[in-house]
Chain A
Amino acid sequence: MMARMRTKWPRCPFVLRSITAVLMLAACTRERAPEQVKQPAATQLPAAGSPRATAPLPAEDGQWTMPAKDYSGLRYSQLTEITADNVKNLKPAWTFSTAVLRGHEEGPLVVNNTMYIVTPFPNLLYALDLTKPGAPVKWSYDPAPRSEAQGVACCDVVNRGPTYADGKIVFNTLDNHVVAVDANSGKEVWKTKVGDINTGETMTMAPLVVKNIVLVGNSGGEMGVRGWLKGLDLGSGAVKWTAYSTGPDSSVLIGPRFKPFYPKDKGKDLGVSTWVGDQWTIGGGTVWGWITYDPQTNLIYYGAANPGPWNPDQRPGDNKWTSTIFARDPATGDAVWAYQMSPHDLHDYDGVNESVLVDVPWKGQTRHVLLHPDRNGYLYMIDRTNGEVLSAQPFGFINSTAGVDLATGQLKYVDSKHPTLGDVVRDICPAAPGAKDWQPSSFSPRTGLLYIPHQNLCMDVQSVEANYIAGTPYVGMNVKMKAGPGGNRGVVTAWDPVNARPAWEIKEDLPVWSGSLVTAGDVVFYGTMDGWFKAVDARNGKPLWQYKTGSGIIGQPVTYRGPDGKQYVAVMSGVGGWSGAIVAGNLDPNDSTAALGFAAAMRDLPSKSTKGGTLYVFALP
């Protein structure tokens, strides 16, 4: 074919050749990557001995009893057997097949020499006995979720793991049940239904237990679900309070204690008045991400997701309180402050990403802050006592907005990237999954750096009219994603909060959809979607070790001390999730809008990873 074209080419009339050349040139221009705007400052190491961020640490017990190991969300272990010097000797110790082939976003728990794993749908709970060779199954528990729930899970049928409190393993099922299981016997203690698949609700998040209150939230921002966070009694499973993300103050649990920092977030019933009519009843703001807790302020911190539908023209107004961070009292659910990152969100920039609680030297004072790498691409450093944004700098490439006004807290939108009904708007960065999605960061008090696993994607969008039909998608956007500037789809960024800039970055070909883990041995662990589990130096990002697992890694690595006194590192392998839906769901990339546009950016994934669900545990020989 090529040869034939070549022989014919010289016979082409000059005019035709010129036209073709012009067309090709135009086509190139059309697909050219944007040259615009914001990029993280150049990589720079913090000077030795310079002020760095820290965090108070609970005593190290060698376990991993809650999703992020501690209430602050650090994902930091003080275990020191595995170090930057010896990690190169790490070897697999044992493995375990989960019998499930969908995306394994969960992280294991380790409590009392037992490891607990919750699988993606059908949400099997396994207890593995770490005291015996090869960690055989001690018991398993099947919550028997309804199979139909798979049809309303937007982004693969994932589960982000269980938590442990007071002798119980607590987790959510895809069909909206919160389950407490006796950690020793595997017997169900209670099971509470908190949502309805017929309105599009599912549950995928990992619960957190604070002072005998089980905190859980719903998923379904792509289905016109009204988001909420609920507090359940740990003893009985009874729902004690529900805090909606939209609607009147009475249902958002906004009362006299509510003191937002910025005028834009003040006013009565903003959860109604920033919508048209009763759109807030189907307006999203689901709560499917991470919750952290500060015993000093006695507040929990979490984010509400995107507004629905994605088509922004169908929901005029600021759409409060979607894409918002809430600080609440865990006992009552009362809101104490809130900050809306992306008012009238245009690009599916959920606010659900983790808020990591650290202390930062800032302009001569120590500020108690939360670090929140948002989907919209800014690393928000917010005073967690009052909601003041201290800094908001890009940690990835952004052209959809032009910064955050720290005086007003307002995000500055770029008008040319506004999706408008009937038009195709090209090269919006970051894409819908954001500069970073759910995959949690880790923080080391030793280096003062936040290790952010994230992606580098842009998108073309075309907004179309969405009809609301309960229990079906309510999106109204055709999306096509692609790699961002540079061509690498993934990044691991070590963020220096004191100087609000990256200390170092590692570019990865595929989106880094796994969580990160950092240890006192100055090792950062993360996985890639083609199955490599990697260890890098926490101080400079130098690659130290890698191991190829059976399937792509999108899980959350953890580390623990085994009954034999050795330090182990564990991670789930099993590709899927939104980014891996092309493999987990056998999608056809000939349609660029498959998987809400993510398949277009992942056309090569089926050649790099197959399905599979396996736990890998590593140790030094």
Chain B
Amino acid sequence: MDRWTDGPARRILTAGVLTGALLFTACRREERRFRELPPSTTPTTVRVSALQPGTMVDTMHVANPYENNAYAQTEGQRLYNAYGCVGCHANGGGGMGPALMDDKWIYGSAPENIYTTIIQGRPNGMPSFAGRIPSYQVWQIVTYVRSLSGLTPAGSRSARTDDMMMYDGSQALPKHVAPKQSFRPPASEMP
């Protein structure tokens, strides 16, 4: 039996190829883009209704470059909190605004739908963030919002904000970041 076809060497070779393949895909997943050229959207091509007079014309879909990118989704999660999305939509369950983790979409679930919803605002209370949030960050938020209802590939999904996060996901803050009582008021001002 040839040592190249059935022996340690072959196993090493197989492992090497597999590792290489993994690294290759992992690169896409973990890619950081520092000079962003996010997709542009033209509002006229984004439909909010599936009802079209006459023959169906395909909606022009805008590819979201971040859909498979774990880094962008994690960034989206951070921005979702930083820009206060969490204040209205909670961690996906909703509150002042509708839930985002269920399968009901008032203004569409496609990336371009969510993008235009954030940029344009909606008449029943969704504020317009046009001119407030850079376009690439909006796409990152779109990616995170779609991940809440499982619309993005599982492999790139960021850590779920579990009930009262216990910091065991990728969003973990080391404990030493927030020492107890670091921001407490001076004793004289405390009740």
Which residues of A are in contact with B by a Cβ distance under 8 Å? Answer: 147-154, 222, 274, 313-314, 316-318, 342-344, 410-413, 418, 420-424, 460-462, 464, 466-467, 469, 471-475, 478, 480, 581, 585-596, 599-600
Across-interface contacts of B82 in A (CB, < 8 A): 467
Give min CB distance, B190 to chain A, whole Å.
7
Give min CB distance, B93 to chain A, whole Å.
3
Decide yes or no whether B94 CB sits under 8 A from chain A.
yes
Interface pair A473/B88, CB less than 8 Å apart: yes
- One digit per residue, 1 when the CB lies within 8 angstroms of any chain A CB and 0 when it does not, for chain B 158-191 equals 0001011111000001010110111111100111
Instruction: Say which size band chain B's interface belongs to.
Output: 35 or more
CA distance in complex: A594, B97 (Å): 10
Interface pair A588/B96, CB less than 8 Å apart: no
**A-B contacts, 8 listed (Cβ < 8 Å):** A148-B124, A154-B96, A316-B185, A424-B164, A424-B166, A591-B93, A593-B90, A599-B95
Residue among B90, B92, B182 making CB contact with A595, cutoff 8 Å: B90
Interface pair A469/B95, CB less than 8 Å apart: no
**Segment of B42-50, B65-73, B99-107, B110-118 in the binding face:** B99-107
Across-interface contacts of B181 in A (CB, < 8 A): 420
Interface pair A314/B91, CB less than 8 Å apart: no
Which chain A residue lies CB-closest to B122?
A151
Interface pair A413/B191, CB less than 8 Å apart: yes
Across-interface contacts of A424 in B (CB, < 8 A): 164-166
Interface pair B125/A147, CB less than 8 Å apart: yes
CA distance in complex: A480, B126 (Å): 24
Interface pair B178/A422, CB less than 8 Å apart: yes
Across-interface contacts of A590 in B (CB, < 8 A): 92-93, 101
- Given A147-B124, A422-B173, A588-B93, check contact A462 B178 (CB 8 Å): no
Across-interface contacts of B83 in A (CB, < 8 A): 467, 469, 472
Interface pair A473/B101, CB less than 8 Å apart: no
- Given A421-B182, A591-B90, A595-B90, check contact A474 B95 (CB 8 Å): no
Most B C-beta atoms less than 10 A away, residue of A314, A422, A585: A422
Could you list 5 further interchain pairs (A-B, Cβ under 8 angstroms) beyond the known A147-B125, A151-B96, A462-B165? A150-B125, A420-B178, A462-B164, A586-B94, A592-B163
- Given A222-B87, A460-B164, A480-B164, check contact A587 B184 (CB 8 Å): no
Across-interface contacts of B123 in A (CB, < 8 A): 147-148
Across-interface contacts of A478 in B (CB, < 8 A): 91, 161, 164-165
Interface pair A148/B125, CB less than 8 Å apart: yes
Decide yes or no whether B98 CB sits under 8 A from chain A.
yes
Nearest 10 pairs of A and B residues by beta carbon: A151-B125, A473-B87, A591-B93, A594-B93, A422-B178, A316-B185, A313-B183, A588-B99, A150-B125, A472-B84
- Given A154-B96, A475-B87, A599-B93, check contact A480 B125 (CB 8 Å): no
Decide yes or no whether B39 CB sits under 8 A from chain A.
no
Across-interface contacts of B121 in A (CB, < 8 A): 148
Decide yes or no whether B14 CB sits under 8 A from chain A.
no
Interface pair B126/A318, CB less than 8 Å apart: no
Interface pair B84/A474, CB less than 8 Å apart: yes
Interface pair A591/B189, CB less than 8 Å apart: no
CA distance in complex: A150, B126 (Å): 9
Interface pair B164/A587, CB less than 8 Å apart: no
Interface pair A423/B87, CB less than 8 Å apart: no
Decide yes or no whether B120 CB sits under 8 A from chain A.
no
Interface pair A422/B84, CB less than 8 Å apart: no
Which chain B residue lies CB-closest to A476?
B87
Interface pair B125/A587, CB less than 8 Å apart: no
Interface pair A587/B183, CB less than 8 Å apart: no
Give min CB distance, B78 to chain A, whole Å.
11
CA distance in complex: A462, B161 (Å): 12
- Given A148-B124, A317-B189, check contact A153 B96 (CB 8 Å): yes
Decide yes or no whether B81 CB sits under 8 A from chain A.
yes
Residue among B91, B98, B182, B191 making CB contact with A585, cutoff 8 Å: B98
Across-interface contacts of B185 in A (CB, < 8 A): 316-317, 344
Which chain B residue lies CB-closest to A150?
B125
Across-interface contacts of A151 in B (CB, < 8 A): 88, 96-97, 124-127
Interface pair B124/A587, CB less than 8 Å apart: no
Give min CB distance, B5 to chain A, whole Å.
41
- Given A148-B125, A586-B104, check contact A423 B92 (CB 8 Å): no
Across-interface contacts of A475 in B (CB, < 8 A): 87
CA distance in complex: A115, B176 (Å): 61
CA distance in complex: A59, B87 (Å): 48
